[in-house]
Amino acid sequence: MEVNPPKQEHLLALKVMRLTKPTLFTNIPVTCEEKDLPGDLFNQLMREDPSTVNGAEILMLGEMLTLPQNFGNIFLGETFSSYISVHNDSNQVVKDILVKADLQTSSQRLNLSASNAAVAELKPDCCIDDVIHHEVKEIGTHILVCAVSYTTQGGEKMYFRKFFKFQVLKPLDVKTKFYNAESDLSSVTDEVFLEAQIQNITTSPMFMEKVSLEPSIMYNVAELNSVSQAGECVTTFGSRAYLQPMDTRQYLYCLKPKKEFAEKAGIIKGVTVIGKLDIVWKTNLGERGRLQTSQLQRMAPGYGDVRLSLEAIPDTVNLEEPFHITCKITNCSSERTMDLVLEMCNTNSIH
């Protein structure tokens, strides 16, 4: 008969706790009308409760902070912080302690340990502490792998691991629309308008600190999300830049080709990469998150081989008198030269 050996008891204990900001304490107020049997008793108890707000006792939100009671949600773009502690629960000195923390994602494995050097010895009731930080850049399942190796007084090498699994959620839903504008009297050949719709898909409000567009090398960008009032630039979203859960906000940007590319229609017409959005927000008690989209691409407009645009035309003209208009014909083909034949056709109004 085969007998399984007894399970080895480890001398060290590993504890891992996620570090998050505290939240405001909430309580459920209990009150009644004065003509009821308790009278003013409930109201008096609430006024004496140190967790309530003075003068607003019937509000659920208190003025005290409470420590996190659960692991909470982790969103893409936020910083994951965790406290790792290894404690010597035995009555003997442990030597050569090495604590390693790795974060396993669907695509890579990252080492988050502050130091990879081993601790020479750990006395009884002493501990080794470490705090790790990581900016989350992938959604989906993440596994925090904490491994501890050490040597006992008898020279036996010990090793154990613990796994902590959590999900990273998407905080924002970003949708983009492109509008190609053709110029009439402007010297700019191509303007592109970008509309970005950003929706908060979390369960708490967000403070939108910054939403900007980083253009590609061929474009300059102008933000169209503010207006001038009394000589000051005021955002179109008002003084409070909060985005409530499931609310959507629309941002508008105008991109113009740089001067060195403006006249090269053959190059501009093939450009599909516009740039990328940089979004920074804060939640709860100032927890910061940041996302950058991938390179935004548009459908290149089909200009054909030749493009005609008006450069100058008078606002008013006199009947039976000649007037001047200036047109520009651009060869949009970067591969060959063209022999043009220009002809002005008569109409009923103009000869």
Q: What is the pLDDT of residues 155-191, one digit of tens each?
A: 889 999 999 999 999 999 999 998 877 655 444 457 8
Strand-pairing partners, residue 244, are none
The token pair that represents 150 in the structure block: 């050490």
| 237/8: higher pLDDT | 237
What does the pLDDT read at residue 269? Answer: 60
Residues in Cβ contact with 298 at an 8 Å cutoff, skipping those fewer than 6 apart: 178, 180, 192, 272, 274
Render pLDDT for 50-72 as a digit per residue (tens, 0 to 9): 777 777 777 777 778 888 777 88
Residues in the chain: 351
Q: Which of 177, 193, 74 is CA-nearest to residue 134?
A: 74
Max Cα distance, the chain (Å): 118
Q: Which of 185, 177, 188, 144 is CA-nearest to residue 162?
A: 144
Strand-pairing partners, residue 220, are 256
- Compute the distance between CA of residue 314 and CA of residue 325 in angstroms, rounded to an integer: 7
Of 82-86, 196-200, 333-337, the least confident: 333-337
Q: What stretch of H or E contains 75?
A: strand 74-75
- What is the rounded average pLDDT for all residues in the chain? 83
Residue 135: pLDDT band (50, 70, 90) is: very high
- CB environment 183-215: b (16+ within 10 A), e (fewer): eeeeeebbbbebebebebebeeebebeebbbeb
Of 31-40, 228-237, 252-261, 298-307, the least confident: 298-307
φ, ψ for residue 137 (rounded to 5)?
Answer: -125, 5
What does the pLDDT read at residue 186? Answer: 44
What does the pLDDT read at residue 176? Answer: 93
Whether residue 333 is predicted with pLDDT greater than 70 in this model: the reply is no
- Compute the distance between CA of residue 147 and CA of residue 160 in angstroms, rounded to an integer: 6
What does the pLDDT read at residue 3? Answer: 46
CB-based contact 160:8 (threshold 8 Å):
no
Render pLDDT for 257-276 as a digit per residue (tens, 0 to 9): 887 776 665 556 666 788 99
Q: What is the mean pLDDT of residues 319-336?
A: 80
Q: According to the per-residue pLDDT averaged within each range, which of 122-126, 233-237, 304-308 is highest? A: 122-126
Residue 4: pLDDT band (50, 70, 90) is: very low
C-alpha 117: how far from chain center = 34
Residue 330: pLDDT band (50, 70, 90) is: confident
Whether residue 1 is predicted with pLDDT greater than 50 in this model: the reply is no
Q: What is the mean pLDDT of residues 104-113?
A: 91
CB-based contact 124:88 (threshold 8 Å):
yes
What does the pLDDT read at residue 267? Answer: 58
- Compute the distance between CA of residue 148 and CA of residue 144 in angstroms, rounded to an integer: 13
Whether residue 6 is predicted with pLDDT greater than 60 in this model: the reply is no
Q: Which of 297, 283, 273 is CA-nearest to residue 76?
A: 283
Q: To the nearest whole percent, how much of the chain has pLDDT over 70? A: 89
- Burial of residue 294 (CB within 10 Å: 0-12, 13-18, 19+) is exposed
